[in-house]
A and B are shown apart, each in its own frame.
Chain A
Amino acid sequence: MNGGWRAFLRLFAVQGTWNYERMLGVGMGYAAEPLLDDLKSIDPVRHTEAVVRSAEFFNCNPNLAGLALGATVRAEYEAVPGAQIARLRTALCSPLGSLGDQLFWAGLIPAMVGLALAAIALGARWWAVLGFLVLYNLARGFTGIWALRTGYDSGMKVGAAIARSWIPAAIERVGPAAGFAVGVAVPLVAAWYLRDIGAAGALGTLAVAVTGVLVSRWYGAALTAVRFALVAILLLVLFRGIFP
């Protein structure tokens, strides 16, 4: 796979031109460019068609985009009909989005953030921040290399390769780990802030927290956490203005 490392590095910017029309499309085309270079000398017409296809609409979790990139590039070199490659790209959008979001956004990131917050509350300071950054980027780098290589090795059979891979099992484990880590972090962080505040202040803060949870569950997406916070801050300022 010539150009593999350049494509891997370019995948870090796969969302660089994110928009509501092609979504990751142009970013995928940018990452595909070094991988498609050799096709230029083999079949220039096919190369042009492949470049066009590479920048068309695409969307998925950026951390698993390498699977689609590797698979479609391999298919281009194997002279698979263009319509079939376009169908493969479309078919990969939802599963790669769903798997990546569950693995990273709903799993690995809250799990690692939860641990980092707990560690800071227990006094780890810089070490917690550094540990989070290093561990996350190792996991992400490994996933990125694996995704590109697996996609390229599998070509049109990438779906079966994903199903056989470590990803479904990892999602099963990382979700509960995220729940546990955030669960550990919340009381520790609350104690970290409220330890020297006094009982009245601590009870008031916890009352705000409980109200926030209940109100946000009642109103759903209409009252986001940020909106609730701004309303609460405004009410406090008004109250203090009226009753100084």
Chain B
Amino acid sequence: MSFDSAYQSRKFNSVGTRPLRPDGVDKVTGRARYGADFNMPGQLVARVLRSPHAHARIKSIDTTRAASLKGVKAVVTAADLPDLTDGDASLFAILDNCMARTKAMYDGHAVAAVAAIDEKTAKAALKLIAVDYEVLPHVVDVDEATRPEAPVLNETVFTQGVEPAPTTPSNVANRSEFGHGDIAAGFAQADVIVERSYKTEQTHQGYIEPHACVANCSPDGTADLWVCTQGHFVFRQTCSDLLGLEVSKLRVTSSEIGGGFGGKTHVWAEPVALALSRKAGRPVKLVMSRAEVFRASGPTSATSIDVKIGAGKDGTITAASATLRYSNGPYADMWAELGAMTSFACYDLENVKTVGLEVLVNRPKVAAYRAPSAPMAAFAVESAMDELAAKIGMDAVDLRIKNVAKEGSRSSYGPVYGPIGIGPTLEAAKAHPHMSAPLRKNQGRGMACGFWFNFGGQTCTDLNVNADGTVSLAVGTVDVGGSRASLSLIAAEELGIPYEDVKAVVSDTATLGYNDMTDGSRGTFSTSMATISAARNAIEVMRKRAALMWEIPPEDVYWEDGHAHAAGTRHGNRAPLSVKEIAAEAANTGGPVAGHSELVADGAGVSFATHICDIEVDPETGSSRVVRYTVIQDAGKAVHPAYVEGQYQGGAAQGIGWALNEEYIYGEDGRLQNPGFLDYRIPVCSDLPMIDTQILEIPNPNHPYGVRGVGETSIVPPLAAIANAVSKAVGVRMTHIPISPPRILAALSDDKGS
């Protein structure tokens, strides 16, 4: 990478302030255009036919009657999406998930789709499609799916990662293993051992805006897609691969986004909309209903995790192990592997071993959800850590500080850590007034730590200085959490101009080079790096333009505090030239002033957080209430502190919902029973206290301003922090997420019984 990304200490003028977000007025007045707000003249309405069966062979599909219905312009099945994946299993899974080919693998799996002149006609057409199913036995539970008697979802799947290679197919698609040392020897040294099994239920990212797109294929082979996504460049690539389009001929424009949290890093309906438009020769709008979002897009894994931790009487952990089973939906992925990598990452352990098992079940294809797989692993490990502290008679924070990972520690997933921030978050938690505040009757306090990797990626940015000295910033990472404000602050900082003089927009795929998605907490980390680079390139242009204006050599001009200065005394007492003054003369000094940047932002650095929460439980009803919650996390440098706090609070809020209420509930028939926000209850404002935040700023050595990604880690500790709090409030260890009122009552009842 040519750009020097090394951290340099500096005084900030714009970065670290809290201006209003540029997209705020549009969002609060309803003018912002989300996925479903885009329309084309003559567009058709698409509807998708979905399997009512959890597992069924598709013997035949007859679309004749639907296609002949007046007003229907196209009907597609898997036959209209031929397999162009060339042996790429991951891409094939996406294709098969978009439209079932030989088997419906879960309740809600798409089997056909219709484009018609209006919604009524499209719905009527779906009823005319005759699908002949052979219903097969199904399995939806992660533990049941691993049993020998469980129905096998895919006869071609043999467990990978074990030797000798199995000879019979299995729902366990892959086994991964991490760790170091000798755990048997470590457990033999332990004075105290905690061993327990935990479960977490499947949850959805719960974004408020359903998936929506408009596809428009032209007979000349070009196509446009307007879509709600976390990564329009990636969607362009995936859709091009699946439909056999040339990448340059598919132009993808991202809309505003009403939440994604990982669920909009994957395509679901977009290839279907493109296939319908290609067949109909007209624009096609496809908007998923809330029920479709739940049934057929993006949940995270359900898990079953066994943890064992041993320690000496002084609290030093001598060994730790975990076996993590994660449901994947019908297609093998790496969700358990991520859990196995992250589970013990907060600690400095001599002997540690984790095993991840990817389990196929008849549920929707699992998608990334904010620090994917880490919250469940942290729930299990951090619950066991609390129990260990109690057994030893040690304070829960002190036990963690005693074993905390630091620079030089070998991480449980392999590499030795450089400088990391888990220790400071624990010290901050120990010193926080929340930790010593009194509790009332039926209240319990819990705390927990969390880890996530973070990453950077390919990034491309254009910065244009306009004739009046204002700046247009074109970025290719979708603004999910306020990045246009943060990136405008960065441009203002680097150029030395007011924040209000910068306007950031998200460009479409035809007008900017490739950008990876807004995922992995990379949006502000990566694009701020590219923005700094672009701004510095623009400054170099302006320095030369100032030299032309002054008619002096460019090497005699330097840039400081947002102005070009003539160096030394040779050129007289020239007043510095501002961006506005240089921009005003641009036409006669060489034309438009711009800076471009394309780079790979690597070195994001791993991220840690510590959370504290107080819960009050009503022992009569099992109802629980979060009465106080504190998030402590390292941001490296908070570019726009209000949005950093928003990320911390948002992650905590989602984690609270996951911990206390949210779960996919399946009937005996393998059908999802609660595909709506009435029966799948995410927290609303009245459910939550004000979530306090403490931003630590330990500069990231691999970013010029020290910035670290902050989008994901905040969802990792809440499940454990809440479980620890509830367990203390009720005096019974809670091991099954969500800790809903019936589970609390059952635990209390079992405790009394025993």
**Pairing of A with B:** no
